[in-house]
Amino acid sequence: MPDETDDVEEQVAAEQGTAETDEPAAAEEAQADADPSAAEPTDEAVDEDADGEPAHLSDTEAKVLGRLGRELGEDILESASAFGTLVVRVKPDAWRRAAEVSRTDLQCDYLSFISGIDWQPAPREGGEVAGASSAPVQPTEMTFGTAGSAGRFQLLAVVESTSHKWGVALKTDLDEAAPQAESWVSVYPGADWHERECWEMYGVTFEGHPSLRHLYLPSEFEGHPLRKDFPLLARQVKPWPGLVDVEPMPGEEATEDGEASAEGAADE
């Protein structure tokens, strides 16, 4: 007859062996719960925007932001990723320094463009009853894009590295009453015409620019056409419900309904 004591000892030993086998797996599960990144690798780094919301950066974007951060430090106000592009907003007095760091540390040897931004909503065309449309074309309150803004005017520049295949969009805030920034011409010679256009169209003065003069408009032209509050004289004379006015070309005459007519040119 089998000994019942031996059977009990074998059962206890089997249960202890199972517990020892499951112990490492339980430890791994606990570690994964405590640190989700240890359980599953990821190719994204997490940053935080001004509102505390997580903004995911790719490995490349995180690397570029890290290099900028080492050199600019607290001069970086905000950063985020938009449509696969890293957007970094810097303090106004760090605008030129940001260009230098991009050129040297990031090896961004290509300047794509420099432009101005006017965040002021465009005036509603033609008044309250224009075109009987259901909604205004532009928002009624001032809103800001990626990486935020401190006011109405900003500068935006995009630089890229042809060797590393990465890039960054740099932004800075401008004073509304007298917008000005340091010129990038000595860092990126191609900035010459971009800054001239921005001065002409938005009224941004670039300190240190070698020859800040009109690029498209005649020298006697007054005003800055890309500002949202720039008056279109044709609409002041006759409000137009659409976004584009049909204005007469040289040699043409405007008809009573505002359409251009070639009769004047034909009579000459």
pLDDT in tens, 157-212: 999 999 999 999 999 999 999 999 999 999 999 999 999 999 999 999 999 999 99
pLDDT for 229: 83
pLDDT at residue 256, rounded to an integer: 55
- Contact residues for 252 (Cβ-Cβ < 8 A; gap 6+): 260, 261, 262, 264, 265
| CA 153/CA 9 separation, integer angstroms | 82
Contact yes or no for 116/155 (Cβ under 8 A): yes
Place of tokens 């940053």: 47
Structural domains of the chain in order of their starting residue, each with its CATH number: 44-230 (3.30.460.80), 233-268 (no CATH)
With a threshold of 0.75, does the pTM exceed it? no
Task: Specify burial of residue 199 (Cβ count, 10 A radius: 0-12, 13-18, 19+).
Answer: buried
pLDDT at 210: 96
The predicted pLDDT at position 146 comes to 84
Task: Give residue 118's pLDDT.
Answer: 92
Residue 207 host element (H or E): strand 205-207
Long-range contacts of 204-209 (CB under 8 A, 24+ apart): 204/116, 204/153, 204/155, 204/174, 204/179, 204/180, 205/178, 205/179, 205/180, 205/181, 206/180, 206/181, 206/182, 207/180, 207/181, 207/182, 207/183, 208/182, 208/183, 209/183, 209/185
Structure tokens at 122: 């465009």
Q: What is the pLDDT of residue 239?
A: 54
Q: At what angle do helices 59-72 and 95-104 cross, to 10 degrees?
A: 120
Closest CA to 234 of 245, 250, 244: 245
* Residues ≥6 apart with Cβ < 8 Å to 144: 119
Output the pLDDT for position 164.
96
CA 228/CA 205 separation, integer angstroms: 18
Residue segments in the chain with a per-residue pLDDT below the cut of 50:
2, 5, 8, 12, 18-54, 126-134, 136, 243, 258-260, 262-266, 268
What is the C-alpha to C-alpha distance for residues 104 and 94, in angstroms, rounded to an integer?
A: 15
145 close to 139: Cβ distance less than 8 angstroms: no
What is the predicted pLDDT for the residue at 197? 97
